[in-house]
């Protein structure tokens, strides 16, 4: 998939550094999604979708879900659906091909459908992205330019002065990797589906805010504010200096360890996006029957489940998974592979999976589709 490079070479030479074009890298991309499925998903209330068109007045951005008639018509437009891997096992399988990059960075697969001439304009993204052609031909022009001026008053970021330096006609199976901030402009030459495997990079401000919220529930500072030396005042509305100094000294005692950072980060990065909902199994089995069934068929993670592990701790969908030393190894394997076969499922492991099965985070393998 990486044009003869090992994952190690790709990470050292291209990741976050320079683009890579690989013709015919992912032949199975064509089978991931067809136009009908994509347009169906754009009408689905649980899928995040957008439609982008260029009108005489400028660019137009509409948010889904759409009605079928909004997706008809032949003018040049693009419909984009985020997170198709939550709906389509084939898209999940494509995402997992990028498992040489930590799941802590992996985001989702977006699919875009463009009619001839359609595209989202010249722009840059803040994330690493693998653009994989699934249908038709898209001409990608790319540029290392540092001039980032945007066209003013547009509902999406369009570069004002895009100057193409390289151009690739991407056909089904072709892959183009772009590092964050690399300018690109894709135009559909015919009916065209492009898949984007995207990576996430939280902003430092978001990390700090989320970490402090996480810490807020754990901070332990015993005692109560006290001021035995408080002096009488004739300006009672003025904040006492001694109080400010005393509270500053108390707050300096709020501390966290590297272990707090570890636990926060794995929990935060395994948190599903806000719109994600898990469904409890229909005809829920009791624990004994679940263990028996799991040991007969194996289990698979729900397509929406995010699972990470770190130093013997396992995190699933934003929660630490309290597991015993007996089960931790199998759960880490489940997190990596996203399934466990019947042979791997010893009874204590299957029993440990029962609450996740009840919550809809894990399914019996036979029921995964």
Q: Which residues bind ligand SIN (CB under 6 A)?
A: 78, 112, 120, 125, 129, 184, 186, 194, 196
Q: Cα dist. 173→68, 279, 364 in Å? A: 28, 34, 32
Q: What is the DSSP string of 184-213?
A: EEEEESSSEEEEEEEE----HHHHHHHHHH
Closest contact distance (angstroms) between CB of 133 and Co ion is 14
Residue with smallest beta-carbon separation from Co ion: 125
Q: Give the DSSP H/E element, type plus range, for residue 214.
A: helix 204-216
Which lies closer to ligand SIN via its Cβ, residue 129 or residue 368? 129
Q: How many residues bind Co ion (CB under 5 A)?
A: 1
Cis peptide before 65 (omega within 30 of 0): yes
Q: What is the DSSP string of 304-344?
A: T--EEEETTEEEETTEEE---TTTHHHHHHHHHHSEE-GGG
Please tell me the distance from the alpha carbon of residue 110 to that of residue 221, in angstroms, as a whole number.
45
Please tell me the distance from the alpha carbon of residue 50 to that of residue 55, in angstroms, as a whole number.
16
Site for Co ion in 222-251 (CB under 5 A): none
Which lies closer to ligand SIN via its Cβ, residue 138 or residue 361? 138
Closest contact distance (angstroms) between CB of 50 and ligand SIN is 10
Residue 163 near residue 108 (C-beta atoms within 8 A): no
Which lies closer to ligand SIN via its Cβ, residue 112 or residue 305? 112
Figure out which of the listed residues 34, 40, 125, 191 binds Co ion, where binding follows CB under 5 A: 125
Q: Cα dist. 323→38, 103, 104, 298, 355 in Å? A: 39, 20, 20, 19, 12
Half-sphere exposure of 241 toward its Cβ, with a 13 Å CA cutoff? 2
Where does this chain touch Co ion (CB under 5 A) — which range of 118-126, 213-221, 239-247, 316-324? 118-126
Which lies closer to ligand SIN via its Cβ, residue 37 or residue 112? 112
85 binds, among ligand SIN, Co ion, none (CB under 5 to 8 A by kind): none
Which lies closer to ligand SIN via its Cβ, residue 126 or residue 250? 126
Which lies closer to ligand SIN via its Cβ, residue 122 or residue 298? 122
196 binds, among ligand SIN, Co ion, none (CB under 5 to 8 A by kind): ligand SIN
Please tell me the distance from the alpha carbon of residue 229 to that of residue 240, in angstroms, as a whole number.
12
Tell me, rounded to whole angstroms, the distance of Cα 181 from its chain centroid.
18
Closest contact distance (angstroms) between CB of 113 and ligand SIN is 9
Closest contact distance (angstroms) between CB of 37 and Co ion is 22
Closest contact distance (angstroms) between CB of 177 and Co ion is 12
Q: Cα dist. 169→54, 183, 192 in Å? A: 22, 16, 12
Closest contact distance (angstroms) between CB of 184 and ligand SIN is 6
Closest contact distance (angstroms) between CB of 194 and ligand SIN is 4
34 binds, among ligand SIN, Co ion, none (CB under 5 to 8 A by kind): none
Which lies closer to ligand SIN via its Cβ, residue 157 or residue 295? 157
Closest contact distance (angstroms) between CB of 143 and ligand SIN is 13
Binding site for Co ion (CB under 5 A): 125
């Amino acid at each position: 998939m990486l044009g003869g490079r090992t994952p190690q070479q790709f990470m050292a030479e291209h990741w976050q550094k320079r683009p890579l074009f690989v013709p015919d890298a992912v032949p199975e991309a064509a089978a991931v999604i067809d136009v009908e499925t994509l347009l169906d998903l754009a009408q689905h209330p649980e899928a995040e979708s957008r439609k982008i068109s260029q009108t005489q007045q400028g660019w137009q951005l509409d948010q889904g879900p759409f009605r079928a008639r909004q997706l008809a018509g032949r003018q040049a437009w693009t419909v984009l659906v985020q997170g198709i891997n939550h709906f389509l096992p084939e898209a999940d399988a494509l995402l997992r091909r990028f498992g040489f990059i930590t799941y802590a960075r992996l985001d989702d697969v977006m699919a875009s459908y463009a009619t001839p001439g359609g595209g989202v304009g010249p722009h840059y993204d803040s994330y690493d992205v693998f653009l994989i052609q699934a249908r038709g031909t898209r001409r990608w022009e790319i540029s290392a330019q540092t001039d980032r001026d945007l066209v003013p008053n547009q509902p999406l970021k369009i570069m004002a002065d895009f100057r193409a330096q390289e151009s690739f006609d991407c056909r089904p199976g072709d892959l183009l990797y772009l590092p964050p901030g690399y300018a690109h402009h894709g135009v559909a030459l015919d009916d065209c589906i492009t898949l984007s495997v995207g990576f996430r990079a939280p902003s430092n401000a978001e990390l700090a805010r989320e970490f402090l919220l996480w810490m807020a529930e754990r901070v332990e500072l015993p005692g109560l504010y006290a001021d035995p030396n408080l002096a009488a005042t004739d300006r009672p509305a003025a904040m006492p200096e001694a109080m400010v100094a005393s509270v500053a000294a108390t707050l300096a005692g709020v501390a966290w360890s590297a272990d707090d950072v570890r636990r926060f980060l794995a929990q935060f990065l395994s948190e599903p996006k806000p719109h994600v909902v898990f469904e409890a199994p229909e005809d829920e089995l009791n624990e004994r029957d679940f263990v028996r069934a799991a040991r007969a068929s194996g289990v698979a993670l729900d397509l929406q489940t995010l699972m990470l592990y770190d130093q013997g701790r396992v995190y699933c969908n934003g929660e630490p998974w309290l597991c015993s030393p007996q089960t931790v190894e199998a759960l880490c394997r489940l997190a990596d592979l996203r399934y466990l076969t019947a042979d791997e499922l010893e009874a204590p492991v299957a029993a440990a999976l029962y609450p996740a099965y009840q919550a809809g985070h894990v399914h019996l393998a036979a029921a995964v589709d």
